[in-house]
Amino acid sequence: MSHDVDVRGTMAQAWSVDARHSTFSEVHGQQVNGDHTIINNYNTDDAEERSKLAAWFTPLNFRQKHSDVYGSRREGTGDWVLDDEKFKEWIRGDTNSKTLWCPGIPGAGKTILASHIINSLTEKHKNTDEVAVTYIYCDYKEQPTVYDIVASLLKQLVENSSPTFKNVASEYKSHQKKGYRPTLQEVHKTLTSEIKRFSQVFVVVDALDEITELGTNRYELLKRLQALGCHLLVTSRDIKSIGDALREVPCMRIRANEKDIRQYIEGCFLPGTTLEGLIAEDPPLKEEVVECVTKYADGMFLLCHLHVGSLETMVTCKEVRHALQNLSQEVNSAYDQIMIRINKLDKKRRELALTAIMCITYAFEPLSDRGLQEAVTLSRGGTGISSDELVGVATILGACSGLVVVDKERSVARLIRLLQQL
């Protein structure tokens, strides 16, 4: 295998490979908050009809995305946002605008923070049917229409509010019978009308910048959402065009604070890892790593993860200390340093790392940790998937030097967010 494989470029172009029917594409494990009800008035008698109506509006569904994202949050991190005065004003509706813009640098944990806000609002209002919490997770790999995104909000209200379900089912009965969906204008009008039936409706939109500007989709969506008259919170990179569009609304900047960064780094020292073993032998090394990585992370969780992942490849305390003196303060540089390390591995481990990265990248659906083992084995020319042929998960993760992680809650292998669009 070549030393100059452009993994980042290949990953960015991986759109169409379908591994749904492969043995290794199954996902096992219990969902985190997968069955959480935002408004606690679900009538099981309506379940089938409600589900059909919701799916008829749009196939778009952000529940699993929210479950995955919130499940990866480190306990205790991000609590600062709930105490921020601008956030509190947004909750109360004390400002002239009901919209709150939350820009942040890449890797600052905007998506995790958005999931924390969603979960906090959900928990706070779970015992009332007067308040609704809805959300949108944008992803540059998927570009749904403005119709589908707006319809997904109505879909969430239908799924979680019996009155909304009954109203909407009655309104669109003729559409369903004739076999066609309503227009964007009709859905937006219905959504606006249903929102007025609640005392408060919160809409959290994560990563607006990942909606393409082509065809004005991003700003058409933003205009539609602001016209709903609900409490709207938008996270995005600090992009001038978005800032211009939201120049009149309050702004709460997102940046990981030092307490969260330190807590995140300490959570990376997992039992059984090489780095944890070195720290056990030389306890002062732990604080040195935490202090140095915190300093060079510059408010980015992504850089923390990349740096700790790179330190995992060191085999002595001296190597760790030397690496700490050469940490990068840029995501792309840190990524490149890890790829250099991977390409310097022995042939078997290098091929193992690149194979794992490719398997995860091209899988149409998430791979379980067992699925990743099977995929790597088959991709490397294995003739079967018996236990004695499988490469250990720890071995795969070690070779990937932090670029691949396994979600503990769902046992799903995934690539860290590399932000190829930067």
Show the beta-strand stretches assigned E in 108-181.
Answer: 131-137
Q: Which fold has domain 31-245?
A: Rossmann fold (3.40.50)
- Distances in Å between the alpha carbon of 238 and those of 101, 105, 159? 10, 7, 33
**What pLDDT does residue 157 have?**
92
**What pLDDT does residue 384 have?**
62
**What pLDDT does residue 203 have?**
95
Give dist(CA 252, CA 235) in Å, integer.
9
Give dist(CA 232, CA 121) in Å, integer.
13
Which of 174, 224, 167 has the alpha carbon at shortest distance from 193? 167
**What pLDDT does residue 154 have?**
92
Low-confidence ranges of the chain (pLDDT < 70): 1-45, 214-216, 329-334, 337, 382-385, 401-402, 407-410, 416-422
**What pLDDT does residue 90 have?**
93
Delimit the CATH 3.40.50.300 region(s) of the chain: 31-245
**What pLDDT does residue 134 have?**
94
